[in-house]
Amino acid sequence: MTMPFERTRALIETKQFLEQLLAPEDSPGVPDWAREQARKLLRHFPTYSNIEFAHRVLPHLYGPVSPDSLLADAGD
């Protein structure tokens, strides 16, 4: 059974992974098609603030987002 904090962690780590795929300096050698797919997925991916809101509304499904992640979201 997936716990709320595990679900939140999976969302956060997936977002970070897609961002790394998108940045050539973080992941050299990634094919253009993969970068483009990461860009398309991130376009509609929930922000950290969205995930935190989901936690407040549905705490049995989503855990809290760390304050550090919420600060990083302020730039979006």
pLDDT digits (tens, 9 = 90+) for 20-66: 999 999 999 999 999 999 999 999 999 999 999 999 999 999 999 98
Q: Structural domain boundaries of the chain?
A: 4-73
> Cα–Cα distances in Å, from 62 out to 8, 22, 23, 39?
6, 26, 28, 24
Q: In this structure, which amino acid lies at residue 59?
A: P
64 and 8 Cβ atoms separated by less than 8 Å: yes
pTM of the model: 0.83
63 and 8 Cβ atoms separated by less than 8 Å: yes
**Is residue 76 pLDDT above 60, yes or no?**
no
- State both tokens at 57: 């509304």
69 — pLDDT class (breaks 50, 70, 90) = confident
Query: Regarding predicted confidence, which is higher, 1 or 35?
Result: 35
